Amino acid sequence: MNLMIIVIGTGLALGLILQIFLKSLLNWYSKQQAESLAKDLIETAEEKAEELMDLAKESIAEFERSQQESHEKLFDQKEERIQKLQGQVDQLRNQLHNKWMEKKKVVDRSYSLVQNHANLVDTLEAKARLNSASVLNKKKDLAQKLIETFSLDKEKILSELSQKIVNIARTKINENLSKEEEDLKDRIERDAKNILNLVINRFVRPFCPERGIGFIVLKNDSEVEKMLGPNKSHIEHVEKYCGVDIIYNERARSLSVSGFDPVRRELGRATLEKLTRERNINENVIQRTIEHAKRNLFKEIKMDGDKISRELKLDNLNPEIKNMMGALMYRYSFTQNQYYHCAEVGHLCGLLAAELGEITKDGRRAGLLHDIGKAMDHSLDGGHAVIGADFIEKHGEPSHIVHAVRAHHFDETPSTNLAYLVIAADAISGARPGARRSTTSTYTQKMDQLQEIGNSFEGVIDTFILSAGREVRITVDNNKIDDHKALELSKQIARKIEHDCNYPGTIKVTIVRETQSIDIAR
């Protein structure tokens, strides 16, 4: 059994070895055949490549021959074309040379003629000089004979003649200067109107039509009795402690506050309003109410000053200046509230400064502070522009701001752009529709002042005020005022109006000269 297993195992091993050997033999044979086939393919490819290379070389050589033949033919054509063009150029050159020679002959003939004419002109000029000298001598002789014949004063004639020539030239120069001045004024006015139009259209802060109310309306008779007190004793106490006058209107059943100090008037009004809410009124209640109203009033003044400085973005104003600006809330000029007026001028002046390349914050600052002097009482001497400038200078404002405030009503001659911007912004705010109410007395005063200025000059016959004071027309004596003096007179009157009058806008001055020739037929 074991022997059989050994025999079977041996047979299987021999079969496996034989199989491996046969497989190796087949692989070697296949490899030999593949190498032989590959060698044949390589040889065939090399032969094919050599044939293709030969064909390519022949094609290249053929292409080179054809290109050379084509280029030689094209070169021959170009050379023939160049020769032909060269012939045409030579022909044109010969033609131009011939024409130039012809022109040269013409120019030579013309130059010869010009020379002849120049010689003739020189001869004639020499003769003319001789004749001119002769004529001049004859004129001198004639003038001398005329002087001797008519016994005329030579120096006097020359003086009168020269004066007449000077007057004519002066009149002509003045007319030209006047025309140029008008043109310049028109251009300046047009540019100024454009800037003002930009500024006013950019100013969006609402105009406040607020008017001060200084009276209290009482509801019934019992409230009247309570407010007045026995023999109007309550009113007398309020007048004593507030420093105002209180007027009772029996028909309207109202109490009105009168006084020169606007802050005191507001204090009196606020006191009366608070007293109407009191049940019982006596002197102690009145004093307590006045103290309470005073504290509230000062608090509101401080709040208004802080508010206006914040609105214009001026953070470093002195507290005293802020308080004084807050007091302007109760000050009116021609019924225009000066607190809102100063705010308007500050905004407008800042916008004008921005348009003209100045510092915007300086414009706002000077515009805001320009009327601060109106908040001060009679204890200080001087106009509001001067005392306002002194006040802000004392409280640390820079010199250019102080100058702009002091000069805005020409108490000091304006010398900076900022000063003129404040003047312009102040005029815009005061002259806008609805800002101020002109009374009959002020209008009549303005008309009388203009007429007085016009009649104050020598040679004026009469002065007429037209267009509600926008034009002054003056008739003058024709024998005393000539054209030259009329121009000077119009300027003098305009300057005097600018210096003596305060007005918005412009006033046109017209001088009228009239010549009359009168005769009587008999």
Q: 450-477 pLDDT, tens per residue?
A: 888 888 888 888 899 888 788 899 998 8
Sequence-separated (6 or more) residues with CB below 8 Å from residue 391:
321, 324, 372, 373, 376
Least confident of 83-87, 92-96, 115-119: 115-119
The CATH code of domain 440-513 reads: 3.30.300.20
Confidence of residue 403 (pLDDT cuts 50, 70, 90): very high
- Residues 189-222 pLDDT 10s: 888 878 877 887 777 665 554 545 566 788 888 8
CA distance 122 to 125: 5
Taking CA atoms, 458 is separated from 174, 434, 480, in Å, by: 21, 40, 9
For the chain, the domains span 153-202, 210-303, 312-437, 440-513
Tell me the pLDDT band of 420, cut-offs 50, 70 and 90. Answer: very high
Q: 306 pLDDT band (50/70/90 cuts)? A: very high
- Let me know how long the chain is: 522
Say which amino acid occupies 520.
Answer: I
List % helix, strand, coil for the chain (3-state, nearest 5). Answer: 70, 5, 20
For the chain, what is the largest distance between any 2 Cα atoms, rounded to a whole number of angstroms? 196
What does CATH list as the number for 210-303? 3.30.1370.10
Superfamily of domain 312-437: Hypothetical protein af1432 (1.10.3210.10)
